[in-house]
A = this chain, B = another copy of it.
């Protein structure tokens, strides 16, 4: 069934870890590069698992799991140059990870101590956008800027299958087509928008949306990291060389709940997961690496150790992450605070202090 849906999706590595040819796409990576892809996927998965656990313990308020989507995220982000710019959603921990965003920076928002977490300009990776679809327009505007600058850079923007319903995403397709922007629209079709299944309505394959706007779209097996890289690289190269935008639909699956607040048993069958477990992106690469002697037991063990260390770091780090002082909510509302905000801030401080006094008195 999945295979039927996958349809024309580009694949370079079968679910069994066998390397196959594709007429239009190919990629050659060194063993070291392949290992680092594996390593990043394992670490991101561990980060995800720890965050889920920390949410259950009440240490963070919410978590949107990337489980199962590691190849789509890590593969596409690895295709970027450091000078390129990425616009992730709230689920793209594999992307922010590859952009060098630190685990604590990713977790800060979910812990509720900030609505951001990192410097998007320094990381060349925007903050997570929660309003579905908004960031796709930002990416288009950013790409307009890249074009104005005549810079040799590309922009990639991530969004879900559900997001393609939103006006903003379609308006961003119009912008991309009109101005032939150096932009890759990367749609992670994980088959679900909370409880809404992608195939509910026998909708047209998502990658085909692009043609109607006047640029190419391609579906890739989103659990095949080699194919994801091959397709994304080509799209990014096209973008940088003035070829205009591309829509990449990474066909994958949301293995977890929508977020830790969600209860997917209300709307999908546990059995559906089984078929996708067999298509696990990490296992697939692992088999390929092992079978071809690109990595051995000791390497896999080493990565597992790194993951265990990361878990400790995340647990300790999150617990140590304290809320900022209340009055920081007045910072950065404007570049320079207004008189009204100065007064409100002073009022808050005085008010909070009145309790402290009360306590010491």
A263 on the interface (CB 8 Å rule)?
no
* Nearest chain B CB to A112 CB, angstrom units: 31
Per assembly, the copies of the chain total: 2
A21 to B263: give the CA distance in the assembly, Å.
58
B201, A208: Cβ atoms closer than 8 Å? no
A171 to B170: give the CA distance in the assembly, Å.
8
A333 on the interface (CB 8 Å rule)?
no
A202 to B167: give the CA distance in the assembly, Å.
22
**Chain B neighbourhood of A171, CB < 8 A:** 165-167, 170
User: Looking at the complex, which of A6-14, A211-219, A314-322 is the stretch in contact with chain B?
Assistant: A211-219
A262 on the interface (CB 8 Å rule)?
no
A167 to B210: give the CA distance in the assembly, Å.
15
Within 8 A of B (CB), among A178-198: 178-180
Residue of B nearest to A174 (CB): B165
Q: Contacts A165-B174, A168-B167, A171-B167 hold; do A211 and B201 have CB atoms under 8 A apart?
A: no
**Chain B neighbourhood of A210, CB < 8 A:** 212
* Nearest chain B CB to A60 CB, angstrom units: 33
Q: Which residue of B167, B179, B201, B211 contacts A177 across the interface (Cβ within 8 Å)?
A: B201
**Chain B neighbourhood of A209, CB < 8 A:** 212-213
B203, A177: Cβ atoms closer than 8 Å? yes
A164 to B177: give the CA distance in the assembly, Å.
13
Residue of B nearest to A133 (CB): B167
* Nearest chain B CB to A65 CB, angstrom units: 26
A131 on the interface (CB 8 Å rule)?
no
Q: Contacts A167-B171, A170-B170, A171-B166 hold; do A203 and B211 have CB atoms under 8 A apart?
A: no
Q: Contacts A165-B171, A168-B167, A171-B167 hold; do A204 and B213 have CB atoms under 8 A apart?
A: yes
A179 to B167: give the CA distance in the assembly, Å.
18
Q: Which residue of B174, B180, B201, B204 contacts A212 across the interface (Cβ within 8 Å)?
A: B204
* Nearest chain B CB to A159 CB, angstrom units: 14
Residue of B nearest to A196 (CB): B178
* Nearest chain B CB to A134 CB, angstrom units: 12
Known: A165-B171, A179-B201. 7 other contacts (CB 8 A): A177-B204, A178-B201, A203-B213, A204-B211, A204-B212, A209-B212, A211-B212
